[in-house]
Structure 1
Amino acid sequence: MTTPATRHSIRNIFSIIRQSLNGEEQDYTQGSIRRAVFLLAIPMILELSMESVFAIVDMFFVGKLGPDAIATVGLTESVVAIVYSIAIGLSTGAGAIVARRIGEKNPVAAAHAGAQSLLIAGVCTILISVAGVWLAPEILHFMGGSPAVVQEGAIFTRIIFGGSLVIILLFLINGIFRGAGNAAMAMKSLWIASFTNIILCPIFIHFMGLKGAAMATVIGRTTGVLYQLYHLVTGKGSSLRFTWAHFDIDKPQIAAIFKVAWPATLQFLIGSGSWIFLARLVAETGGTDASAGYQIAIRNMVFFILPAWGLSNAAATLVGQNLGAQQVARAEKSVMLTARYNAVFMGCVMLLFLFGSQFIIRFFTGDAAVQAYGARALRIMGAGYIFYGIGMVMSQALNGAGDTRTPTIINFCCFWLFQIPFAYTMATGAHLRATGAFIAIPVAETMIALIAWYVFSKGKWKTVKV
């Protein structure tokens, strides 16, 4: 029999969930910090969870086409991570500025900053799309793909790079919505995109093979972007409303966005570059079976990392808005509380990977060699999951404050100066081959978490102006 206090707590929980999913306007600069974290984090977690569900479903159906298809998707997405890095970098810069303007109670300036970031995205996309479509076979060859992978996978790579615009816009506009505190709108747009992907993916793969998976992805992203643009133009369900005047070129505003966005883009490019190296190292030292197993393990890692990333994004929004409202102590408390929640969640995932990796990988492939590599990769990489969660919150908190340079320096030192040489030494010098690359991942992520925690505790982020 439940007590009145228990019933009251349950009602409060459902009330918070309902408010977070409805997208009701909230002032995150006052009131309960715990409530603010959950109001932002619930839709952000659901948003990114749906993205990870699609990644898992996509890999499930692609896996039926064999190891070459799995390797093609994995190697392509290792390079397409560059596109995601640009999207996330622009999203981080735009989101930090939008959050500050919202904290200052100036939604018109927030909308103007968001519109100017879309102009930057358009220029970036042209360069990326042309290069990716033109160099698709060379990209797969450079990544260590076998001749069969290069021959059969080039069309997949061309389609994905050709759709770079919708990939960048989907993430960028969601960053704008999150900066404004409207995490529910970002969630809905990504849900629409992912549901469309999930429906089209098996159908297109059945009739068109591997290129069908790429077409389903691009079409799904496009539906999400159309939903976003509708709400930005009409202002329905959001405090932001874009007008044509907001798109008049504003060089000082573009410079301000670029100042925050380019280190954030470089920050994620550094991480992506490291992942590209690791994917190539695994392919070269372990062959197609190791590459396929590694890519399945990565998809499962992403499935659980993205919800944690949602919590981290909540911390970034709370930092930005509270700094804009001159509530520095509240910003700091928000980050520490979010880090605690993330550590608990990621600790549970770590146990799942340590003891259930074989069962998880077996779900995606019946190939015994691929299963062995995948389970080993998932078990080793999962060993550092608690540190992944803490590091993400600390880095995103610094990004949300507009201090995008510090996490960039941390990433450069830990990924390029440590992880890449360490992985190469373990794989070749210690003769551990693909396993050596797996080991380098949790070691480097642990270093990032500890350094980011130390830097955040020093407090210089409190004085950053954007």
Structure 2
Amino acid sequence: MEISYAKRSTKNEIWQLAWPSIIEQSLIMMVGLVSTMFVGRLGNAAIAAVGAINSLIFFFQAVFAGLSTGSTVIVARLIGEKDHENARLAVMQSLIMCIFIFIMLTVLGYIFAVPLIHLFFGRISADVFRYALLYYRIVLIGLPFVIIDLVIGGALRGAGDTRTPMYITAIVNIISLLFNLLLVFGVKINGTYIVPAYGVKGTAIAVTIARIIGGFLQLYILYFAKRVINLSIKDRIRIDFKMMSRIVRVGLPASLEQLVMQGGFLVVQIMVATMGTVAMAVYQIGMNANSIAFMPIFGFTLAATSLVGRSLGAKEYDAAENYARQTTRIAVKVIAVIGVCMFIFARQLAALYSTDPVVIHMGSVVIRIFAVIEPMLAIMNVISGSLRAGGDILYIVLTAFAGLWTFRVLVGFILGKILGMGVYGIWIGICFDFVVRSCMYWFRFRAGKWKYIKV
């Protein structure tokens, strides 16, 4: 007789699912840290350009992040229902939808590269614009493979397999790091370059090569490795509108959520761009500090989404709520420790990204502002992941709009631009956003209606 989810060791299950994703995010963070350090050594214009274009790329990824969420939630539900055949069908339909969307997005994104950068970052300096255009045109090539990675990785996590995405991420990030080491500053032997120094172009090439390899690895795992979810090259490719509709019902609100969020991030990035190159560099340091905090939270959020989704699929509603509460408690404790360390070592952390004393000082202040509210970031992400598993994504969209655009964008604009607080005002607005949304999600979670939504 199968042991009920509610009777298992909850904490052990959470850690078993969370630790591979935490390691995965740690690898991403470490490689991102090293890459940003390399770019930072090329000057403030370089780090500002790379940060701006990454914001734009993340905005493009929002649509596919929604499909990934839809795939994760639906697969988790189907696995909970013991319906492996339809779980495989869900993965196939997600990939079919991705193929059509990413071809259109990549082609249009390349054709309108210059107008897009002018539209979003028109006031940036000539040096920043030159670096931004160069970086954008190269990394756009790798975008389809990022999308493949998102969708297949999301399906595997929904099925409870967080280790395979971790292994792939490890390989991808090691490749990215090695190519960054080779291409950004070049390789010299006896005073002669055997590998040229490509600067910003080098880091763009490194990231793109790694992403392409990651996409192919995910496809190989899906079709040729024995995992919880697998497809076969012998499978007839078929379109199932009913399954697509089910994925879209979850994925579309998730895409809207990401569009709302990434749109807000992009608007904030544009505001910061009007404050000058130093402000852009400081903002990028703050965003990298955010990624350090997000490292463990990502793992716990995925664990909550998978465990809650499978419990709801098995109609074990009390177990679903217990998983969410336990995961939140663990995440808050872990992130509080990280927050204390970031507050104490804020200056040393900022110095990793820049050699400019002004940027280091301002960056350390921003890191300390962020470190204070990190426990709220844990609550916001883990509880929202639980609500997504329950299908309560429309509420998350509405609260993301209210919290992010009212506080991060509007309050940030008032403090940063109107009251003249600059990038400090922007980060205070970001902190308000985290606090408000975490409270909104917690109250919604406690109401309990999310457990009974049909997806």
* 1:153 aligned onto 2:132: yes
SS at match of 1:65: coil
Aligned match of 1:455? 444
Using the aligned pairs only, state the percent identity: 29
Q: Distance in 2 between matches of 1:217 and 1:86?
A: 21
- Tell me the CA shift for residue 153 of structure 1: 2.6
The aligned residue for residue 262 of structure 1 is 252
Structure 2 residue 54 is matched with structure 1 residue 64: no
Determine which of 139, 152, 175 is the counterpart of 1:196. 175
- 1:134 and 1:85 map into 2 onto residues whose CA distance is 20
State the match for 2:153 in structure 1.
174
User: What amino acid maps onto 1:165 in structure 2?
Assistant: P
Query: Given that residues 260 and 402 in structure 1 are in contact (C-alpha distance below 8 angstroms), is that contact kept between their aligned partners in structure 2?
Result: yes
Alignment partner of 2:411 out of 399, 422, 425: 422
Distance 2:273 2:371 in 1: 20
| 1:383 matched residue in structure 2 | 372
Q: Is the 8 A contact 1:384 1:443 kept in 2?
A: no
Matched residue, 2:359: 370
Residue 458 of structure 1: how far off its partner (Å)? 0.8
RMSD: 1.7
Amino acid at match of 2:27: M
* Superposition map of 1:11-410 within 5 A: 31-141=8-118, 142-143=120-121, 144-206=123-185, 207-243=197-233, 245=235, 247-285=237-275, 287-410=276-399
Shift of 1:443: 0.9
Deviation at 1:132, TM superposition (A): 2.4
How far has the Cα of 1:255 moved from its partner? 1.2
TM-score (norm 1): 0.91
Matched to 2:337, the amino acid is C
Q: CA deviation at 1:28?
A: 5.8
User: 2:411 & 2:234 partners in 1: Cα distance?
Assistant: 51
Q: Return the letter of the residue paired with 2:259.
A: L
Give me the whole-angstrom Cα distance separating, in 1, the residues matched to 2:282 and 2:248: 38
Q: TM-score, normalised by structure 2?
A: 0.93
* Cα deviation, residue 99, structure 1: 0.4
Q: Residue 23 of structure 1 aligns with which residue?
A: none
SS in 1 for 2:221: helix
1:15 aligned partner: none
Partners of 1:292 and 1:100 in 2: CA distance:
43
Structure 1 residues 28 and 194: CA distance shift in structure 2, 3 A: farther
Gap regions ≥5 residues in structure 2: 186-196
Shift of 1:244: 5.1
CA distance in 2, matches of 1:123, 1:48: 29
Unaligned runs of 5+ in 1: 1-25
**Alpha-carbon separation, structure 2, partners of 1:269 and 1:328:** 30
Aligned counterparts of 1:51 and 1:112: Cα–Cα separation in 2: 30
Q: Distance in 2 between matches of 1:31 and 1:392?
A: 24
Letter in 2 for 1:226: F
> What's 1:431 paired with?
420
| Bigger mean CA deviation after superposition, 125-134 or 31-40 | 125-134
CA shift at 1:245, angstroms? 3.6
Relative to structure 1, the CA distance from residue 89 to residue 30 in structure 2 (aligned partners, 3 Å threshold; closer, same or farther) is farther
Cα shift at 1:32? 1.5
**For 1:328 and 1:244, how far apart are their aligned partners in 2?**
38
Following the alignment from structure 2 to structure 1, what is the Cα–Cα distance between the partners of residues 160 and 6? 11
Alpha-carbon shift at residue 229 of structure 1 (Å)? 1.3
AA partner of residue 111 (structure 2) = W
SS in 2 for 1:208: coil
Task: In structure 2, give the amino acid aligned to 1:405.
Answer: L
Q: Distance in 1 between matches of 2:217 and 2:326?
A: 33
Give how far 1:213 is off. Answer: 0.9
Which secondary structure state, in structure 1, belongs to the residue aligned with residue 354 of structure 2? coil
Aligned to 2:454, what secondary structure does the other structure show? coil
Residue type at the aligned position of 2:21: M
Q: Secondary structure at the match of 2:184?
A: helix
Contact 2:223–2:231 (CA under 8 A) maintained in structure 1: yes
- How far apart in 1 are the matches of 2:183 and 2:88? 38
Q: Is the 8 A contact 1:87 1:167 kept in 2?
A: no
